[in-house]
Structure 1
Amino acid sequence: MKDEWAKNLSPDTVIVIAEGAGQELILPSDKSNKNRPDAASDDLFHDVGLWLSLKIKDHFARSKKMAINLKYIDPTYMIRAIPSNASDNVFCTLLAQSAVHGAMAGYTGFTVGPVNGRNCYIPFHLINEGQKRVMITDRMWARLLSSTHQPSFVNPLHITEEAKA
């Protein structure tokens, strides 16, 4: 595999890989190649995320031009910690369709998310810009608490004061 992809990495890079993607890149003799069953089928997929993280570490170890701090996270069980409901399925479908639409339109370096009730393309550089606040008086927060069955630990007096502000 050529290391051309490494030239495009910025100092702060997040790489997200879909489960089961990149199977053709992994050689059967690769030691990092661990099979794991896919949740949706009985097929065994190689862990391409682990394989890619090892390739990136190898690349930077060989080049010795830059020290890296690479974190590999497999969020499979974190994501599947709570059963999805119909609202989750609809919301994720809309986000996925918007992301594909943006990619097919030629946009790169963006994510899709709700902004003022509409799905919008959000450039990556804006995601980390400034401090974000969660509005605990918003419907989205109430829906989150309701769908995840989490209790609200917020004092009702604080909600009233925040709503006034």
Structure 2
Amino acid sequence: MIRAIPSIASDNVYCTLLAHAAVHGAMAGYTGFTVGSVNGIHAYIPFNRIIEKRNKVVITDRMWARLVSSTNQPSILNPIDIAEANKEKHPAVNGLLNG
């Protein structure tokens, strides 16, 4: 986990659990995996399952707007981005344009 601020206790616990699970998997002889939470249960996840499809962040989506707002990041949208998003049938969220 990469952070710009000191971690909190729950982050430390979560990272420790992930590290322990990764070591246990490696010591059991597994290769080509990562560990993570699947439906609330820690699991070994094969790399090929992770990379089989790409996630696409829709920068005109409301969830993206919430993330940008909560992290105090500047808006990266410009009229060209909005036009491209409209072509892809993704509605723009009001207030995301620069200026």
TM-score of the pair, normalised by structure 1: 0.33
1:94 aligns with 2:13: no
1:129 aligns with 2:52: yes
Structure 2: gaps spanning 5 or more residues = 58-66, 72-99
Match 1:109 to one of 32, 35, 39: 32
Q: How many residues align?
A: 61
Query: Within 5 Å, which residues of 2 pair with 1:76-87?
Result: 79-87=2-10
Query: Within 5 Å, which residues of 2 pair with 1:8-27?
Result: none
Look up the equivalent residue of 1:117 and give its one-letter code.
G
In the superposition, relative to structure 1, how do residues 130 and 120 fare at CA in structure 2: closer, same or farther (>3 Å)?
same
Q: CA RMSD in A?
A: 2.6
Structure 1: gaps spanning 5 or more residues = 1-77, 135-144, 153-165
Compute the displacement of 1:133 (Å).
7.5
Aligned residue for 2:70, secondary structure, equals coil
Compute the displacement of 1:151 (Å).
1.5
Compute the displacement of 1:85 (Å).
0.4
Compute the displacement of 1:131 (Å).
3.6
**1:119 aligns to what?**
42
**1:17 aligns to what?**
none
**CA–CA distance in structure 2, aligned partners of residues 108 and 123 of structure 1:** 8
**CA–CA distance in structure 2, aligned partners of residues 88 and 112 of structure 1:** 15
Q: Which one has a bigger Cα radius of gyration?
A: 1
TM-score of the pair, normalised by structure 2: 0.53
Which one scores higher on RCO, CA 8 angstroms, separation ≥ 6? 2
**CA–CA distance in structure 1, aligned partners of residues 33 and 55 of structure 2:** 18
